[in-house]
Structure formats: C-alpha cells, structure tokens
Chain A
C-alpha cells in the first residue's frame, strides 16, 4: 500500500542550486498537489494539477515550477533555491476536486544554506 511516494526524504542545497522533488501516486487519482509546511503555519498550496495535462498556481507559487508528467507523477522544481524555500514539502493526491479528501506523502525536508 504505497499510496503517495515522495523522493528524496531529505535534501540540503546551496543557494542558487536547482532541484526537482518527485511525487508518484498509485491510487489512480486525477488531482495532485504540492504544499509547503513551515513552523507555526498551516500547509500552503504551491501548485496543483486538477487532472493530467493541467497545472495551476496555488497560494505561494513564486520560485517554483511543476510538471504533471503523467497521471501518476507530479514533480516540483526549484530553479534557483533560496533560503526562504527551506521547508517541508508535501505532495498529495485526491480522486477529484478539492472537496474530496487528499492523501499525503511523508514529505521532503529541504534545507537551503
């Protein structure tokens, strides 16, 4: 029962480096999401993909890009990492639109020095 799988689990980058966070789900869900979680704040939506072939900006998209590679996979890319992007990143998926419960991966802990 893999559910939502995120890789890597941990990563340390230097300012200016680029990186792609990978996410895959095996539940045949249509919608996928990327969130960031910072201390004292709720999860904030970065980008989402309502269905294969579509992506849309969330609340905090600046500094990120995404690719919905196929129905299973949704990647998040940092082109030029900044210390403000130090966070825990969560990928989630749901059968359909936002009001359907989302299933989360275990997160990627990213530190930017």
Chain B
C-alpha cells in the first residue's frame, strides 16, 4: 500500500526546546492532518491543512503543507512536559478517498 515516511521515529528533548518533525511521500496529497495521541487514548486532531504552501498555527504548534504536495511539517516551540505523546501525520491521497497515516513520532520531554 501507499507509504508515508514520518521522521524522526522518536525524540528526547529538554523542556523549552523547539521540535520539528515531518512526513514525506512519493505521492501527492490534497489534505494533511496532524494528530497527537496520549497513552491509553485515541488520536486528537491538532491541525488540518488543505492547500499547498498553507501554514497554520495552533498555539505553540505550527504545521505546513509542503509546496510539492508530497510532504508536511510540524513544529512545536518551547516544549513543555505535557507535549509528551505520539504525533501522527495523515494525508489524503490526490484522486482517492483514502487517508494514510504515518507511523508516528514519539516525543519525550525532560524537565
């Protein structure tokens, strides 16, 4: 099936640091969604992107829809302990009704 490469797989950072993660593919997408999953819970939507080049913020989180339409990026500024969790990207392939999920980035924040 289609693949979304999400990196890094895991990150261990200190509180206050900025975080960057991305999803890339060889296919073209027309929607990118970023989710966060806390232990024992379902994913919660953080940001939705619908146009190439779109840059959207949600508090300390900023996500971008890559201009090639094959990638997306999520940045977290000034990380805090409650940012801990797994972050997933999801993209809707152009010309299909399928949503593909990345394998997740596990974020650990140390005080």
Contacts and interface: CB of A to CB of B under 8 A. Distances in A.
Interface of A: 4, 35, 40-45, 50, 58-59, 90, 92, 97-99, 101-107
B1 A99 contact: no
Interface residues of B, number: 26
Given A4-B42, A43-B88, A90-B43, A98 B103 contact: no
Nearest to B29: A99
Given A98-B92, A99-B92, A42 B43 contact: no
Given A40-B103, A42-B104, A101-B48, A90 B42 contact: yes
A37 to B, nearest CB: 9
A101 B41 contact: no
A107 B41 contact: yes
B67 interface: no
5 contacts: A42-B88, A50-B97, A92-B42, A98-B92, A104-B44
Contacts of A106: 40-42
Interface string B22-54: 000000001101010000111111001010000
Contact of A101 (B33, B40, B42, B98): B33
B101 interface: yes
B88 A99 contact: no
A43 B41 CA distance: 13
A21 to B, nearest CB: 13
B102 interface: yes
Contact of A44 (B43, B45, B101): B101
B42 A104 contact: yes
Given A98-B92, A99-B50, A99-B92, A41 B103 contact: yes
